[in-house]
A and B are shown apart, each in its own frame.
Chain A
Amino acid sequence: MLDALAQAYDLIAPVQGNNISFRRVESGSEVTLDYINPMLSAKSTFFPQTETLFRFSRDDSEEFGIEPAREPGRSQVIFGIRACDARSLRLMDMVFDGQHKDSYYLDRRKNTTLMGLACFDYLETCFCPTFGIDPASGEDVDILFSDVGDRFLVEAFTEKGTALLERFAEFFAELRGDEEQLREGRKAGLAGMKRLDVKGIADKMAQLYEGPYWDDIGTRCLGCGICTYLCPTCHCFDIADVSLDEGGERFRCWDSCMFPEFTLMVSGENPRPNQKARVQQRFFHKLKYFHDRNNELACVGCGRCVRHCPVNIDIAQIIDDVSSGKAGNE
């Protein structure tokens, strides 16, 4: 089926490289299913790390000719996306589909069908239930595949999904009826998954703006971009030009609030002068500012930042400290 998909669409699926991450594949054979969650989220499918916005040309009279650099929106399918990453897209929509419409992101979003893969197992760093995500559910996808042992239970949740299933009907067999309970059975594997208390955390954060809690974290943080670049909900970008004699292009690329230059001004002034200020900003954005604006927390509990932070800064731990009030008492 994946082969057929790869024919009809741009198929993006988990591939084993140095680590497992979502990539464009030509055939099903490239795809691996041996993962709990890929290293890189599917975010870059919609919001590439580097994306040309438009190209410009220059003739001797220094006149600019501008041409948009939008590749024809061929429809694509993401296979194997997990519930957390799927949810993260909903959060990203709030940014790119807010009062400013980002056509680059939205076109891809429109042209993409999400084929989810239900989780029946989890990593020690997973805590998506914290945000009301059911890892085995298809809430935020068009189609959900659930591995119920000897077969997949495949469900469509949107018209897009239904349409696609119909188009590839040949690959699917009738239900035998026991799939539901098989799935329920497998869900047992999810028992004991971390579920943190985030009730009213935004307000609790507000109390923590000042205070020593962030000091150690700030010192510990190296200011690298791992957390932000791996985070499926981080969406900051920078815009720059490539200028050549004959013309050039304007591109945007991921940026990170962990980097000093992120807020560096031409004057040399930097409103977030130290790593503490930057680290604090990141958690306030996720657990307060984003919530203030969108009434959602900008985290889906995928645990990537926890797993890969080289100095073990652990957002789950922080949420816990904040909720339990531990953070305040320091």
Chain B
Amino acid sequence: MKATSAELQTRVKDLFEDGTISHFIGYETGSDSLRVAPCFLEGSQEIGRLVWNPVCANNLAKYLLDFKNVPGRVGIMVKGCDSRSVVELLKENQIDRDRVFIVGVPCSGIVDREKLLQVMGISPTQVVAVQDEGDSFLVTLTDGEQRVDKEKVLRDECLVCRYPNPPVYDVLTGETVSRLPWVGDDYSMVKEQEALSLEEKATYWNRELSQCIRCYACRNICPVCTCSECIFDKKAPRWISKANDLSENLVYHLIRAFHVAGRCVDCGECERACPMNIPLRRLNKKVEKDMLELFNYTAGIDVEQQPPLTTYRVDDLDEFM
């Protein structure tokens, strides 16, 4: 049985009323039924605003930083991937475990807005609601209902998600999800890229990254980008020119990829945010894959695990003679 908005509301209401939490970070319905907006509650009065449904894409973890200094404990709802970024925040002492209360929601996949509209050939205004029905979604339209296969309309990262259940939480709402049926090779995308010739690789990324408008949405939405002052915003030294050209865009995206190395939990927010549809996960997943292959490391699982680039093994691979 999947958790419902109603369940969630009662759970959070109780948390407010028994004084467990003073604030709660969740989702509310957005401009249309395929959008949600982050929603911040300071009490149970407006509990009705809270929703949980298969369009709750946003990773809310980063908002915990904004509530660092509020009195009392902050509640937050997290999916598997969101919870993994909470693990990373804890690892880097960005939040205090005792000051947050984590409501875990097992998640069996989030709707990719554009895919859904495409596949069903509809406009968002026609959609009333989307329900999780295991391997498919039940989409209620203004004129009747339709079922659609998850595999066709899930967000890409959900299609390879190995952590549908939050690794850290204080309470769990809804039953845990067993291994997701559609999950294939996490790295097929990366392998296909690796297989290209150097020339082809360059051509590919030049095409993609020349479209970047450097709005920094990928950085700002990233739950592990927590620097109070990012190096890209520094005046001295200037790591990157404000001029928007392919050369500088490459610098930006390479350094960005490196900065989330061993920290990225593939929540896919960067790619969702990117207005230019640049395949950022294709970069992140590469680093993720190397971290796994070289150092047998996966981010966002265990708070105690030391970040791979802050440690070493004497018998690490050495290809540099």
The judgment on whether A and B are partners is: yes
Residues of A within 8 A of B (CB): 17-19, 39-40, 49-50, 123-125, 216, 219-220, 222-226, 228-230, 238, 240, 242, 251, 253-256, 259-261, 306, 308, 310-314, 316-317
B58 touches A229 (CB 8 A): no
Partner among A125, A254, A256 whose Cβ is within 8 Å of the Cβ of B31: A125
How long is the Cα–Cα vector from A123 to B276 in the complex, in angstroms? 18
A17 touches B275 (CB 8 A): no
A317 touches B31 (CB 8 A): yes
Q: What range describes how many residues of B lie at the interface? A: 35 or more
Known: A222-B217, A240-B241, A242-B241. A312 touches B211 (CB 8 A): no
B217 touches A124 (CB 8 A): no
Q: Mark B200-218, 1 if CB is under 8 A from A, else 0.
A: 0000000010010111110
What are the residues of chain A within 8 A of B245 when measuring CB–CB? 50
A17 touches B211 (CB 8 A): yes
Partner among A19, A124, A316 whose Cβ is within 8 Å of the Cβ of B276: A19
How long is the Cα–Cα vector from A259 to B230 in the complex, in angstroms? 11
List the one stretch of B32-40, B148-156, B185-193, B308-316 in contact with chain A: B32-40
User: In whole Å, how far is A310's beta carbon from the nearest beta carbon of chain B?
Assistant: 4
B277 touches A310 (CB 8 A): no
Complex interface residues of chain B between 102 and 126 (CB less than 8 A to chain A): 123-125
B276 touches A224 (CB 8 A): no
Closest to A237 in B: B242
A311 touches B211 (CB 8 A): no
Closest to B28 in A: A312
B217 touches A240 (CB 8 A): no
How long is the Cα–Cα vector from A222 to B223 in the complex, in angstroms? 11
B242 touches A240 (CB 8 A): yes
What are the residues of chain B within 8 A of A260 when measuring CB–CB? 233
Enumerate 22 A-B pairs (CB-CB under 8 Å) in ascending A order.
A18-B208, A18-B211, A19-B276, A19-B277, A39-B275, A49-B213, A50-B244, A123-B123, A124-B123, A219-B66, A220-B38, A223-B220, A225-B216, A226-B215, A240-B243, A254-B213, A260-B233, A306-B31, A310-B58, A310-B221, A314-B31, A317-B31
What are the residues of chain A within 8 A of B31 when measuring CB–CB? 124-125, 306, 312, 314, 316-317
Asked if B63 is at the interface (CB within 8 A of a chain A CB), the reply is: yes
Closest to B126 in A: A124
User: In whole Å, how far is B49's beta carbon from the nearest beta carbon of chain A?
Assistant: 11
What 8 A-B pairs are tightest by C-beta distance, nearest first?
Answer: A224-B217, A225-B215, A310-B273, A18-B277, A312-B37, A312-B30, A222-B220, A224-B220
A222 touches B221 (CB 8 A): yes
A219 touches B63 (CB 8 A): yes
Give the A-B pair count, Cβ closer than 8 A: 99
B213 touches A224 (CB 8 A): no
Choose among B125, B208, B233, B273 the residue with the greatest number of A CB atoms under 10 Å from its CB.
Answer: B273
Known: A229-B213, A230-B275. A253 touches B243 (CB 8 A): yes
How long is the Cα–Cα vector from A298 to B277 in the complex, in angstroms? 27
How long is the Cα–Cα vector from A314 to B124 in the complex, in angstroms? 15
Choose among B36, B214, B269, B276 the residue with the greatest number of A CB atoms under 10 Å from its CB.
Answer: B276
Closest to A125 in B: B31
User: In whole Å, how far is A142's beta carbon from the nearest beta carbon of chain B?
Assistant: 28
User: In whole Å, how far is B292's beta carbon from the nearest beta carbon of chain A?
Assistant: 28
Asked if B278 is at the interface (CB within 8 A of a chain A CB), the reply is: yes
What are the residues of chain B within 8 A of A17 when measuring CB–CB? 211
User: In whole Å, how far is B230's beta carbon from the nearest beta carbon of chain A?
Assistant: 9
Known: A39-B276, A238-B242, A310-B272. A124 touches B125 (CB 8 A): yes
Complex interface residues of chain B between 234 and 288 (CB less than 8 A to chain A): 241-245, 269, 272-273, 275-278
How long is the Cα–Cα vector from A125 to B273 in the complex, in angstroms? 17
How long is the Cα–Cα vector from A63 to B303 in the complex, in angstroms? 59
Closest to A239 in B: B242
User: In whole Å, how far is B102's beta carbon from the nearest beta carbon of chain A?
Assistant: 19
